[in-house]
Structure 1
Amino acid sequence: MGLLGILVGLAVLIYFAFKGSSILIIAPLAGLLVAAFAGEPLLASWTQTFMPNAAQFVSQFFPLFLLGAVFGKLMEDSGSVTSIARFMTRKLGAERAVLAVVLAGAIVTYGGVSLFVAFFVLVPMAVELFRAAQLPRRLMPAAVALGTTTFTMSAMPGTPSINNAIPMPFFGTTPFAAPGLGLIASAVMLGFGLWWLKRAEAKARARGEGFGGLALDPAESVEKAAEDPIVRERATTSGAFDPAEIEHSEGSKDGPSIMLAALPIIVVVAVNLLMSFLILPRLDVSFLAEERWGGVTLAAVGGVWSVITALIAAIVTVIAINFRSVPVLRATMAAGAHASVLPILSVASLVGFGAIVAATPAFEDVRNWVLGIEGGPLVSLAVATNILAALTGSASGGLTIALDALGPTYMTIAQEIGMDPALMHRVAVIGSGTLDSLPHNGAVVTLLSVCGVTHKDGYLDIVMAAIVSALLALVVVIALGTMVGSF
């Protein structure tokens, strides 16, 4: 009955999340269903299992959600994201429209801008480029997805994405875990994705397909998507920015120069690197062993500290550069702060659901099945994160559930066989960013909505550019990691 309860709970979670119901309500209800089938006390399961684990996720990662959302909103309202996108389009031109959109998305998201902020800024630019190049608009979502939801989210060393931060407390790693493998994975994702899109572009030109019409003006599509309650509910489980806050502030009419626009992104990467390898390792943090500081080691918190410091430095930089040009700075920062609340509570609710599942006696069978998957711990870890990210429609939620339940076990395995935890970090993050992009994923739903493209017209290219490319990269990383270890 316990295993049946887990399946029923997951089915309820998936069905109602797909319908656009609030995950804040669905997750505890689905968790209580799992507990009921397992014969566990319901109120205790909610207050003593669900809530403490959800609260722990909030306590660990809310600073990253908060700072990331504020930084993204500042970059949007200052016109910095627009300046970067326009620079790429000017340099590459309409004849390289796909590459321009991909690279613009990659630059801003690797610099810490939320992918949802990137969607709402990049898509109107992509419309102009694709229309000028007479490329079918159905390819726009795949181009944006390749640049924003693949290698800059899960593979690039040092990326400040939430997904890259989640394994750090479990494995004692830094944002730069397995940098060589991360770069190789990034090259695979980018290379395959561009190859597919170039192939699709050539076929479309051969058919004389053209751009096609738009049901709505790009600005109207952005506004409609931001106000759609179903888009909002799905988006907040798969990202760190609530789309409803997009319209709650006013942007600058004139963005900064490309050098000033890119400076905050450079600051994010540079400070992250300095904190990870130079500053934190030299600090005396012996006080962390005291009970009042949690009795932890630097390895458990250092990675998160690095990203927090990098984002703070970037926020200060973007404010200093654009202090006079952002119309209402306080409104912009408030919108960013508010945009972080619903996403972290939504993902924390998924984590609470996973905690109830992991606490049932039947989960031991699931654990044994996962650990028994042939191919070794890297393969089983990849399968676990893939499945949970696919089921929840959330890379961060699926990754956290997997590591909450199995992270200590994998850490023990790594110590026993002499495997670098950084390798597990990179495999887990890439694994969470593959099958999460199924049709019900919030990023997919939002992106298609903003582009004014249906699942029927645009989803196949998203599958190839965002899912298949990431799966290929995951296979390459596992193969190289198994043969030569982490590098």
Structure 2
Amino acid sequence: MMGVIGVIISLLLLMYLAYRGITVLVLAPILALFATIMSEGTSAHIMATYTEIFMKNFAGYCKSYFPIFLLGAIFGKLMDDSGAAKSIAHAIATKLGKDKAILAVVLSCGVLTYGGVSLFVVAFAVFPIATQLFREADIPKRLIPGAIALGSFTFTMTALPGTPQIQNAIPMPFFGTDAYAAPILGIVAGILMCAGGVTWLMYRAKKAAVAGEGYGDHPDENTNDIDTSKLPSFVLAIIPIIIVLVLNYVLGKTYYPSTDTSYLKDYGTALGKVKGIWSLIISLVVAIVFTIVTNRNRLKDAKKSVNQGAIGSLLAITNTSSEVGYGNVIQSLAAFAIIQNAILGISSNPLISEAISVNVLAGVTGSASGGMSIALGALGKQYLAMAQANGINPEVLHRIATLACGGFDSLPHNGAVITLLGICGATHKESYKDIGMCSVIIPICTLVIVLILANFGIV
């Protein structure tokens, strides 16, 4: 029992101290070893636990997903520096007009994140356009973070099939799936999240209008008008995104269709486990090369953009790898058997159990990718075995995992939420209610609906 208490205290400290600004790179190993001592007592082998469990799994996660983090960050940086991201956002905003300012911001973010651009790049690219649209429509500025969160943190991150975001890549090795797993469930979930979030934000805007609240006076606002003459055309800007989505689909469905892949046994793997990752890597590389070649005159220094993107990916991958190492240390403890039985005992249905465990751990860690990685690393094999025993398609496990990681992850201590508020110059008090509704409440309600549909055999 003492071990279980130690694990719980460790998790709570991870959440609290991360919220207080201490890096997970330091917290994760310290708190993992704290839980080990609490669970194992004097028999705890601290150094062996650190080097042979924490660091071994840290390295294993890097090996599997570093290319996605690296290429995604480079692609996002190039889309930003070339002006392609701003071109897409500006074109959508212009087409829809100020009367549909909220929808324009949501769709701009959605198109960019669905194409593989990181949510941080999207927030920086879209915010100046959002301020212009909201000011012209006299919609309170405090609603901008909610609109950006809806377009970046929700349906394009976890729901829509084919999204190259890391949250959609993590389940692939566990379940032998690709980025387009459970397409019907994903599309339904995406529509529900987008429609629900836009409806909420429009309701909030109308309520503010009735109360006489407009855009507001923001003397410290520092946004510059966009010089569209220096931006690439919308068609040229959107092609790299189309490349990522289409090539990823084609490769994921047809990769080595008639070629002997038995050689993979020598590497200790099988095509089904790596095909999804390989397809995504190739797609991003092609999109990166296309972006550099077609924007060589707009990119002031392509080498610098690539280098900055690569360096920027390091913190993201090491943070998530630390959380994975932490999760695997917890999994190795005797006390975890009690926690595991409690989680699996919540429901004999692996979909429900998976949804709860992923959501809770994403909330505790404040990270969608980190929470899902911990949950699947600890229980992925059990969920797959339970699903196969119940005739459940592994693609459904994939989609439920991605949807579940996008719920409690966006609680107030989430790093992306804090960064978004900083970019927009807003506070939790002003804007978190709308962020929370769009990226926590509505996604969780959507997850419940999808679980019901999945239990009727819809894939």
Q: Larger deviation: 278-287 or 2-11?
A: 278-287
The alpha-carbon distance between structure 1 residues 162 and 215, as it changes in their structure 2 partners (threshold 3 A), is farther
What secondary structure sits across from 1:453 in the alignment?
A: coil
What are the superposed Cα offsets for residues 287-306 of structure 1, whole Å, 9 maximum, x if unpaired? 1011xx2x111111111111
CA displacement 1:133-153 (0-9 Å, x = unmatched): 110011000101111110100
Match of 2:252 among 276, 294, 299: 276
Deviation track 1:174-214 (CA, whole Å, cap 9, x = no partner) reads: 00000011000001001111110111111011111001122
Output one character per residue of 1:6-63: Cα deviation in whole Å (capped at 9) or x when no partner: 0121122112111111111111000110111112211111011100011100000000
Task: Measure how far apart 1:215 and its partner are.
Answer: 5.1
Matched, 1:131 2:135: yes
Query: Equivalent residue for 1:478?
Result: 451
Q: Write the distance in 1 (CA, Å) between the matches of 2:212 and 2:441.
A: 27
- 1:349 aligns to 2:322 (yes or no): yes
User: What letter is aligned with 1:473?
Assistant: T
With 310-319 and 210-219 compared, the bigger mean Cα shift is at: 210-219
In the alignment, what sits opposite 1:230?
Answer: none
Q: How does 1:257-276 map to 2 (within 5 A)?
A: 257-276=233-252
Could you tell me how far apart the structure 2 residues matched to 1:284 and 1:304 are?
A: 19
Aligned residue among 207, 210, 215 for 2:211? 207
**Which one is further off, 369-378 or 258-267?**
369-378
Matched with 1:18 is 19
Question: What does residue 30 of structure 2 align with?
Answer: 29
Residue 182 in structure 1 maps to residue 215 in structure 2: no
Matched, 1:399 2:375: no
Q: Distance in 1 between matches of 2:238 and 2:13?
A: 44
Contact 2:184/2:458 (CA < 8 Å) preserved in 1?
A: no
**Once structures 1 and 2 are overlaid, which stretch shifts more, 150-159 or 467-476?**
467-476
Paired residues of 1:252 and 1:327 also in contact (CA < 8 A): no
Alignment pair present for 1:93 and 2:93: no
Gapped runs of 5+ residues in structure 1?
221-250
| Among 366, 370, 380, the residue aligned to 2:353 | 380
Structure 2 distance, partners of 1:36, 1:326, is 52
TM-score, with structure 1 as normaliser: 0.91
Distance 1:440 1:151 in 2: 21
Q: Which amino acid aligns with 2:454?
A: G
**Shift in alpha-carbon separation, 1:57–1:96, aligned structure 2, 3 A:** same
1:325 aligned to 298, 303, 311, which one?
298
Task: Give distance in 2, aligned partners of 1:252 and 1:45.
Answer: 55
Structure-1 separation of matches of 2:136 and 2:348:
49
Q: Does 1:462 align with 2:435?
A: yes
The secondary structure found in structure 2 opposite 1:484 is coil
**Which amino acid is 1:416 matched to?**
A
Percent of matched pairs sharing the same residue:
44
How many angstroms apart in 2 are the aligned matches of 1:319 and 1:282?
33
Letter of the 1:45 counterpart:
T
Instruction: Give 1:67 shift.
Output: 0.2
Instruction: Return the letter of the residue paired with 2:16.
Output: Y
Q: 2:125 aligned with 1:121, yes or no?
A: yes
1:284 CA displacement: 2.7
Deviations 1:425-482 (A, max 9, x none): 0001100011100000011111111111110110111111111221122111110110
Moved beyond 6 Å, runs of 4+: none
Preserved CA contact (<8 Å) 1:158 1:272: yes
Are 1:105 and 2:109 matched, yes or no?
yes
How far did 1:320 drift?
Answer: 1.4
2:32 maps to amino acid:
G
Residue 230 of structure 2 corresponds to 254
1:234-253 superposed matches below 5 A: none
Letter in 1 for 2:73: A
More moved, 13-22 vs 109-118: 13-22
Distance 2:217 2:366 in 1: 30
Deviations 1:314-351 (A, max 9, x none): 10111111012100111111000000001100110011
Kept in 2, the 8 Å contact 1:77–1:252? The answer is no
Q: CA deviation at 1:252?
A: 11
Counterpart in the other structure of 1:452: 425
Name 1:6's counterpart in structure 2. 7
Instruction: Give how far 1:216 is off.
Output: 2.7
Other-structure match for 1:361: 334
| Residue 389 of structure 1, CA deviation | 0.1
Distance 1:96 1:13 in 2: 41
- The answer to whether the 8 A contact 1:265-1:314 is kept is yes
Tell me which residue corresponds to 1:414: 387
Aligned partner of 1:276: which letter? G
Shift of the 301–200 alpha-carbon distance from structure 1 to 2, 3 Å rule, reads same
Helix, strand or coil at the partner of 1:483 = coil
How well do the aligned residues superpose, as a CA RMSD in angstroms?
A: 1.4
Instruction: Quote the residue 1:56 is aligned against.
Output: 60
Question: d(CA) in 1 for partners of 2:260 and 2:297?
Answer: 39
Q: Distance in 1 between matches of 2:59 and 2:368?
A: 19
Contact kept? 1:79, 1:253, Cα under 8 Å: no
Query: What is the CA–CA distance in structure 2 between the aligned matches of 1:13 and 1:383, rounded to whole Å?
Result: 19
State the one-letter code of the partner of 1:338. I
Distance in 2 between the 1:312 and 1:215 partners?
42
Q: Which secondary structure state, in structure 2, belongs to the residue aligned with residue 27 of structure 1?
A: helix
Q: Structure 1: how far apart are the matches of 2:319 and 2:80?
A: 24
CA distance in 2, matches of 1:195, 1:389: 26
Q: Using structure 2 for the length normalisation, give the TM-score.
A: 0.97
Secondary structure of the structure 2 residue equivalent to 1:89: helix
Q: Indicate yes or no: 2:277 matched with 1:299.
A: no
> Larger deviation: 10-19 or 340-349?
10-19
Task: List runs of 5+ in structure 2 lacking aligned partners.
Answer: none
Aligned to 1:236: none
